[in-house]
Amino acid sequence: MVGYNKNNAQLYIKMNIYVGNLPYSVSESDLRDLFGQFGAVSKANVISDRDTGRSKGFGFVEMESADDGERAIRELDGNDHDGRNLKVNEARPRE
């Protein structure tokens, strides 16, 4: 996703990131905090079951900067988070 910041007149590219194998206890706030250590997070979303409201164990994070997103992917992919190895990569567009 491409955006334009008129405050400092620069073009920036956002990155949407898929985060899989999340512990079921992870909240959107937890996800935002986890990725926030690598840069500004625009959105964090944990996908939950419509009927039960329980997490499905994956989510998406949108980073303000593609550079920050790539760094987060490098640092977090395969790392343990509450006993589960995270699967982190750039999200693919819906088909």
| Interstrand relation of 87-90 and 15-20 (parallel, antiparallel or unpaired) | antiparallel
Only one residue has tokens 């007149």, namely 9
Q: Is the pLDDT of residue 3 over 60?
A: no
> For 36-53, what is each residue's pLDDT tens digit?
999 999 999 999 999 999
Q: Alpha-carbon distance 37 to 54, whole Å?
A: 26
- Nearest residue to 90 via CA among 25, 19, 3: 19
Dihedral through CA 49, CA 80, CA 60, CA 95, nearest 10?
A: -80
> For 48-77, what is each residue's pLDDT tens digit?
999 999 999 999 999 999 999 999 999 999
**Domains within the chain, CATH numbers bracketed:** 2-90 (3.30.70.330)
